[in-house]
Structure 1
Amino acid sequence: MNSHTYRTVDVPVSGGQLRVGVWDPVTPAAGEPTALAVHGVTASHLAWPFVVEELPGIRILAPDLRGRGASNGVDGPAGMAAHAADLVAVLDAFGEPSVPVFGHSMGAFVAVTLAHLAPERVARLVLIDGGLPLDAPAGVSAEALVQAILGPTAERLSMRFADVAAYLDFWRAHPAFVRDWSAELEAYFAYDLVPDGDAYRPATSLATTTDDTVDMNTGTTLTGALAALPEFPGPVDLVTVPNGLLDERPGLYPPRHLAALLAALPNVRHTELDDLNHYTVVMSGRGARAVAPILTREFSAH
């Protein structure tokens, strides 16, 4: 990347070591600003390079959440509170008392939880296609809830692949990426694989995804965090896109559901970015260019 140099750091957390991707700006902006980026439910820190490239001058800290990527060996339960505690450990390790935080998908829910449990550590919130309650069915089993929200994304976690090329072929045909396949995506997907006997599997386990998805939609931690969101002292931006995980419409926030959420949260500034889906809003060049002005506005305010 031209705007930043890239390295990784392992940060001690409860149950193990959390891998953190660090993008240091080649030319830091005034005050050497830092932001914390939080990825989605089955992603890793390598979901962020497109966005990083659009934020010259800003240091980006992006962990692999516990149970994902190179943090998949961290022992102990996941859930929103555990992830938030891990993020506090990351900020401590880098000597950052308070930073803008932006999260994508489940990462946005983790960001909301962090803002509730450790508000002094969060200067700004940018929630990218996540963070506010989804229009999820009520009264269903954990497995049915995961299927309803994630669908084939969850099914993939039980699949095995002969090699990296087979995994890339699987994703290359995915409807979310047919317009936006890139070398960065190939690196992201290759990083996701771990050995499993004579084959490979995604680093994120289905059990971890199930636990996090259930906690995200029915857990009391997030309920309390969302109830407190109107009192958050800093700016809160919500970015949504019209298309979902399979490039389908509507996306995660159907218009009527989204309107009701925003009516109850007058402090949330909403922007919809057109012609993008849940993945490509951050994992494509055009998505990163569209979301960058919102992120830059927050950094400038910080």
Structure 2
Amino acid sequence: MTATWLDYTESSIPVPGGDLSVLRWRATGPGDEPAATASRASHPAPPPGTPQPQSHPPILLVHGITGNALAWAGVAEAVAGRAELIAVDLRGRAGSREIQGPWGIDQNAADLMDVLDALHIDEAVLAGHSLGAFVAAEAAATYPKRVTRLVAVDGGLGFPLPDGSDADAILEAVVGPAVKKLSMTFADPEAYLDFHRAHPAFADNWTPQLTAYLVRDTRLLPTGEAVSSCREDAIRSDGKQVLLEDRIRTNITALTCDVDFLYAARGLLDEPQALYDPGRLALAGLDRTPARIEFVPDTNHYTILAPGAGAEAVARALLR
């Protein structure tokens, strides 16, 4: 049976300050069939010395600044069980909302190692989208023996701020509605979905996976009103570290593991100017590293993970 994005399990893993919520899509490819149901007649033993197929290493997935683990649902559908996928809710978001700090990209990277330890995984492919790519790059830089490869999706490479810049103002300008919603209260969960239906990046790209992702982010108040699950202090702390710390902005250019860098054709608001383009990549020096750089047409910053061209391109990179 082909795996779908709904075929995941959820668990909690202890980390400093609380419990991290983790989703897992199990591999279902050849060799993963339970021994009790496998037919010996249909799967005879190969002759001695025959090379055996190697399973793909586990892939640990990290979402964007105000996202959650279901941001990867479209990619999970495209991977279709060909590898095990493990997606975290970063601290202060969705199922990991109740963690009481500390915040920061370096702490998020340490959390990823706690996840691998809890699941008894020595090495994994790391993949991150947007801010999650900075987290994944920090983990690859700090714990190189645990990371076999990095896949960065429209994120992970930053640019220095002009002197005297207001990091909070730039964070809101760059991320836009994703940060604005943190201070908003909505009449009910449907109104929260309506707010996102009007988002330029989603207007023509609404999917069941996107609905599930937003429902996971919705927190219901005793009044029946709805708010985002994201803790504003966690969001601002993580975002400002990306903006202000040179090491976090440039980790990806100095990694020793293989790197795949995928970037979207359009920006966060579906505008023609994307976060990355050949000129910006050259300015930051990524084009002078061994990274495999891939432009993903017909996508914006968010739909690069959505079912269709975006998720298929990301799935290919994950399974490469």
Residues 42-57 of structure 1 mapped to structure 2, 5 A cutoff:
42-55=66-79, 56-57=81-82
Indicate which of 122, 126, 150 corresponds to 2:175: 150
Match of 2:3 in 1: 3
Worse overlay, 93-102 or 282-291? 282-291
Tell me by how many angstroms 1:116 deviates: 1.1
* CA distance in structure 1 between the aligned counterparts of 2:24 and 2:162, rounded to whole angstroms: 38
Helix, strand or coil at the partner of 1:48: helix
Tell me by how many angstroms 1:2 deviates: 3.7
Structure 1 segments of 4+ aligned residues over 6 angstroms from their partners? none
Alpha carbons 2:158, 2:250 under 8 Å: kept: no
Worse overlay, 277-286 or 101-110? 277-286
Match of 1:211 in 2: 237
Cα deviations across residues 147-183 of structure 1 (Å, max 9, x unaligned)?
2221222111111111111111111121111222111
Residue ranges of structure 1 left out of the alignment (5+ in a row): 298-302
Structure index of larger Rg = 2
* CA distance in structure 2 between the aligned counterparts of 1:138 and 1:165, rounded to whole angstroms: 42
Indicate which of 15, 20, 23 corresponds to 2:22: 20
Number of corresponding residues: 294
TM-aligned CA distance change 1:224 to 1:238, over 3 Å: closer
Alpha carbons 2:78, 2:311 under 8 Å: kept: yes
Match of 1:34 in 2: 58
Cα deviations across residues 208-231 of structure 1 (Å, max 9, x unaligned)?
2111111012125515735xx43x
* CA distance in structure 2 between the aligned counterparts of 1:217 and 1:58, rounded to whole angstroms: 33
Match of 1:300 in 2: none
TM-aligned CA distance change 1:220 to 1:16, over 3 Å: farther
* CA distance in structure 1 between the aligned counterparts of 2:163 and 2:170, rounded to whole angstroms: 8
* CA distance in structure 2 between the aligned counterparts of 1:36 and 1:97, rounded to whole angstroms: 12
Residues 71-90 of structure 1 mapped to structure 2, 5 A cutoff:
71-90=96-115
Match of 1:168 in 2: 193
Letter of the 1:89 partner, please give it: D
Alpha carbons 2:22, 2:86 under 8 Å: kept: yes
* CA distance in structure 1 between the aligned counterparts of 2:88 and 2:286, rounded to whole angstroms: 33
Tell me by how many angstroms 1:93 deviates: 0.7
Indicate which of 218, 236, 251 corresponds to 1:225: 251
Tell me by how many angstroms 1:32 deviates: 5.6
* CA distance in structure 1 between the aligned counterparts of 2:102 and 2:275, rounded to whole angstroms: 26
Cα deviations across residues 8-46 of structure 1 (Å, max 9, x unaligned)?
010000000000011112334843631101100000000
Residue ranges of structure 2 left out of the alignment (5+ in a row): 33-52
* CA distance in structure 1 between the aligned counterparts of 2:169 and 2:139, rounded to whole angstroms: 27
Match of 1:250 in 2: 273
Indicate which of 210, 220, 238 corresponds to 1:195: 220
Worse overlay, 78-87 or 232-241? 232-241
Helix, strand or coil at the partner of 2:8: strand
TM normalised by structure 2 equals: 0.86
Cα deviations across residues 54-86 of structure 1 (Å, max 9, x unaligned)?
223211010100011110111122111100010
Alpha carbons 1:33, 1:57 under 8 Å: kept: no
TM-aligned CA distance change 1:221 to 1:197, over 3 Å: farther
* CA distance in structure 1 between the aligned counterparts of 2:135 and 2:91, rounded to whole angstroms: 12
* CA distance in structure 2 between the aligned counterparts of 1:204 and 1:114, rounded to whole angstroms: 22
* CA distance in structure 1 between the aligned counterparts of 2:175 and 2:164, rounded to whole angstroms: 17
Helix, strand or coil at the partner of 1:281: helix
TM-aligned CA distance change 1:32 to 1:266, over 3 Å: closer
Match of 2:209 in 1: 184
Letter of the 2:22 partner, please give it: V
TM-aligned CA distance change 1:263 to 1:71, over 3 Å: closer
Tell me by how many angstroms 1:239 deviates: 0.5
TM normalised by structure 1 equals: 0.91
* CA distance in structure 2 between the aligned counterparts of 1:197 and 1:221, rounded to whole angstroms: 42
